[in-house]
């Protein structure tokens, strides 16, 4: 069940501050509080969705389109398209998702290395 007190729900309600970079009807983008790259942005849907599984099962087509348009719009507005960027969404336990409100990470600003560490 969705936890309405998770930190991103509180940011959406304006109870916790965030360094916002983009906002529209369906999505909000803000800077990650512990950045892993010179640019590290989180893009979240405004609806109450736990993870990618929940979102793709229950969200409307407009919400799904809106979230992905917001990712592209955020990257364009921050000038990330020239050097390129990586998006990533952790979904569930094996992915180590920490905050139970769907979020898409955008990383940029330096060469980002291999996609995933290979197992030895
Ligand atoms: P994940 O492991 O994919 O669930 O990522 C959660 C991310 O949320 C981490 O990169 C955290 O640094 C970030 N985070 C947690 N609390 C906040 C906050 N209040 N504002 C911005 N980012 C946050």
Atom of ligand 1 nearest to the CA of 105: 3
Rg, C-alpha atoms of the chain = 14
Tell me the CA–centroid distance for residue 85 and ligand 1, in Å.
18
Atom of ligand 1 nearest to the CA of 97: 4
For the cut 90, the answer to whether the pLDDT of residue 119 exceeds it is: no
pLDDT at 80: 98
Where in the sequence numbering do the catalytic residues fall? 103
Q: How far is CA 49 from CA 57, 70, 72, in A?
A: 10, 16, 20
Tell me the CA–centroid distance for residue 106 and ligand 1, in Å.
12
- What's this model's pTM, rounded to 2 decimal places? 0.97
Atom of ligand 1 nearest to the CA of 100: 4
pLDDT at 83: 96
Report pLDDT digits (tens) over 18-67.
999 999 999 999 999 999 999 999 999 999 999 999 999 999 999 999 99
CATH of 7-108, one of 3.40.50.1980, 3.40.50.2300, 3.20.20.70, 3.30.428.10: 3.30.428.10
Q: Is the CB of 18 under 6 A from ligand 1?
A: yes
Contact 16, 8 (CB under 8 A): no
Task: Map out the domains of the chain as residue ranges.
Answer: 7-108
């Amino acid at each position: 069940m969705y936890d309405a007190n998770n930190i991103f729900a509180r940011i959406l309600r304006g109870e916790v501050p965030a360094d916002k970079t983009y906002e529209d009807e369906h999505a909000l983008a803000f800077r990650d509080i512990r950045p892993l790259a010179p640019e590290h942005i989180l893009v979240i849907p405004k609806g109450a969705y736990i993870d990618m599984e929940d979102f793709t099962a229950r969200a409307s087509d407009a919400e799904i389109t809106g979230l992905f348009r917001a990712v592209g719009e955020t990257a364009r507005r921050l000038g990330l398209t020239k050097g390129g960027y990586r998006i990533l969404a952790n979904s569930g336990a094996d992915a180590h998702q920490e905050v139970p409100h769907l979020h898409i990470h955008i990383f940029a600003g330096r060469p980002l290395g291999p996609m995933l560490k290979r197992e030895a």
